[in-house]
Amino acid sequence: MTPARSRLLAALVALLALGAGLGTAALGAAGVLDARGSGDAPFASASASSSAWTASATAAPTTAPTTAATQPPETLRPRRQPRHQQHHPAPLAGKVVVIDPGHQLGNGAHPSEINRPVDAGGFDKPCNTTGTSTNDGYPEATFAWEVALRLREELEALGATVELTRNSNSEDAWGPCVDARGRAGNPGEPGPTADVKLSIHGDGTYTAGAHGFHVIAPGDLPGYTDDIEADSLDLAHVVRDALVHGGFAVSTYTGTDGIDVRTDLGTLNLADMPTVMVELGNMRDAGDAAEMESSSGQDAYADALAAGISAYLR
């Protein structure tokens, strides 16, 4: 082989190697783009940073003093990967949502505090309760907290300002009381005035075969809910529809087609904005419990609730 042909062959080999490198880089970039989503749906994850409500009941603080050691390691919870890119950067910009994660992990260790009577809308009820659990002991308070954190991420990704009624899920803490939860987000209360409020719970009935979710709206309680009753019922229907669309079955044991109306809940009665409470499933039912304990199930609940709140606020 002549020296000229040797040089030509070496140049061709170099060019082929360069092309292969560029192709590998392009495939790598395409893989990253695919992992980030196609941009066909409206929700994406966002930072979970947000201020929490510090509101308390009028008679006494509703949470025990906490330190950094007693705060939940929010940042240690595996962050959800963004499932979709958004068409609009902030469709809920300017909206304020209060999320009320039901109960508190340490309520059971503070019986005198949580049994103290507080106003619930012209009548007294205990400050709070321990909540229920699955048959294997997974607490309602922890379920509500996990869904609330995921929902906060979704709503903040859509541009909303999100406030929580409690800032921990700790065995050392208790409360807040239902009156503080009910007033959170009202005009004149600490923090921004809310556009909507959603209280997250799990039910705990032992009735055989009882399963599914239901959404509770406040009934007509003159002087308390008469100004939010109709709008809250509208919100309940939108949230119900979003949960059904998300693949969840309506309750087989209470309410009508997934909707219940009550006048005995201070969290609803003391609110001054459209407000609903969701019982996302029966924690004593094996099927519901499996969904409520799993990370994927909690993601799905948060996705559906975010869709419902977003649809209502838009």
- Which of 154, 229, 279, 291 does the annotation list as catalytic? 279
Nearest CA among 273, 301, 81 for reference residue 185: 273
- The four Cα atoms 269, 261, 304, 150 give a dihedral, to 10 degrees, of 30
Helix 295-313 vs helix 286-293: crossing angle, to nearest 10:
80
d(CA 288, CA 282): 6
Q: Are strands 96-101 and 196-203 parallel, antiparallel or unpaired?
A: parallel
Tell me 68's DSSP state: T
d(CA 80, CA 44): 9
Catalytic site includes residue 154:
no
Phi-psi region of 105 (alpha: psi -120 to 50; beta: other; left: phi over 0): alpha
d(CA 279, CA 157): 25
Nearest CA among 187, 92, 107 for reference residue 145: 107
The structure tokens listed for 294 are: 């799993």
d(CA 224, CA 48): 33
Given a contact cutoff of 8 angstroms between Cβ atoms, the answer to whether 175 and 104 are in contact is yes
DSSP, collapsed to helix, strand or coil, labels residue 228 as coil
The structure tokens listed for 293 are: 């304990």
d(CA 260, CA 271): 17
Annotated catalytic residues are 279
